[in-house]
Each structure stands twice: as C-alpha cells, then as structure tokens.
Amino acid sequence: MCSTTIEQVLIRIREEFPGATTTFTPDGTGGGSVVIEPVDIGTRYAPTATWFGAHLSHALPFADVYPLFIGSNVVRKDGAAHQAPITVGHTFANRPALQVSKRTNNLLATPEGAALKFTKVLHYIKEVAP
C-alpha cells in the first residue's frame, strides 16, 4: 500500500522515464523504495546505463527525495574517483550503491516536484558532477 501522493509520483516517474521499468516496494509506512532501470547516465561513465533509486517518504510531497542511488559498478571513464556528493560504499534496496546526496529545498510540494527531482539529479550526474 502507498499513499495517493506516492501513486501520483510513480505515475509521473513512469512518464519521465518511459523506456525504463519502475519498481516500487512499499515500506509499510505509506512510503517505499522505487527503482528505475535502465537509466542512461551518459558517456562520462561506464557502463553508460544503470539503475536509479530512492526512498519515497510517506511525508511526500512535503519531504525531499533524498538521497538518490545508482549502481555501485558505475565508474568514471577518466579513471578518477567519484567526488562528493557522489559517495561509495552504500546499499539501497539490498543492492550495492553509489549515493548521490543532493538536497533540494525549493521544489514545489507537489507530486510533479518529487518526480522532477529524479530528472534534476540525473542531469547533475550526467552533466555537472565533478
């Protein structure tokens, strides 16, 4: 079971990532974990596609979607180590993961805002991350 807000967030996520499979696992509080895969993370990384996930709090749409995770096998093609806010050594939904710790305090408190967080962080990983 998940809240109506989270149902709406999941609908928007599926619209944002049409080619991917979106899997939601309820946590028993009204929220749960969502994993989207595959997601293209661009040519700076190998592999270029991975999974993308986050916990969706029952406190949505007021809560941030934070942090987000991608597969731990993702490495930079230039051979450099990941830099903060991408950190290693985490797990998410029983998967080894890299954590992407990007806070967003100014998105609208709507299901669209929550879904947009995934798009924004993906853009950060692909284009901005050091």
Partner 1 sequence: MNRNVRLLFSPPVFKAVQKHLFPGDNCEHAGVLLCGWNERADRITLTANEFQPARDGIDYTVSPEFHGRLQPLFIEDALSKAKERRLSYVAIHNHMACDSVSFSQVDMASHEYGYPTLSRLNRGLPVGAAVFGTSSIEVDIWMPGGKRHSLETARVVDQWIRHLWSSPRFAPQVAYDEQFDRQLPFLRNAGLGLIAEAIVGIVGLGGLGSQLIEPLVRLGFRRFVLLDPDRMDRSNYSRVHGSLPIDLPASSKPGNLKVEIAKRLILAIAPDATVDAQPLDVARGDAHQCLLGCDFVFLAADTAEARLTCNALVHQYYIPMVQIGTKVHIDTNGVLHGVFGAVRQLRPGKGCLWCNGLIDRVALADSGKTQTQRDNERYGADAPSPSVVAFNAEVAGRALNDFLRHYATPQPSFGPFYEYSMLDLLAGEREFVEARADEQCSFCSASNSSSSHGRSGGSQVPIVGL
**Closer CB to partner 1, residue 46 or residue 84?**
84
Residue 88 binds to partner 1 (criterion: CB under 8 A)? no
CA separation, residue 130 to residues 13, 117, 125 (Å): 26, 19, 9
Of 8, 16, 42, 58, the residue at the interface with partner 1 (CB under 8 A) is 58
Give the pair of three-digit tokens for residue 4.
Answer: 């109506």
Residue 8 binds to partner 1 (criterion: CB under 8 A)? no
109: Cα separation from own chain's centroid: 17
Of 4, 62, 127, 130, the residue at the interface with partner 1 (CB under 8 A) is 62
Identify whether the C-beta of residue 104 lies closer than 8 Å to the C-beta of residue 68: no
Q: How buried is 40 (Cβ within 10 angstroms: 0-12 exposed, 13-18 middle, 19+ buried)? A: middle
Which one of the spans 9-17, 41-49, 60-68, 73-81 is the region binding partner 1 (CB under 8 A)? 60-68
- Residues found near partner 1 in the complex (CB under 8 A): 27, 29-31, 55, 57-59, 62-67, 84-85, 87, 90-92, 99, 101, 103-106, 108-109
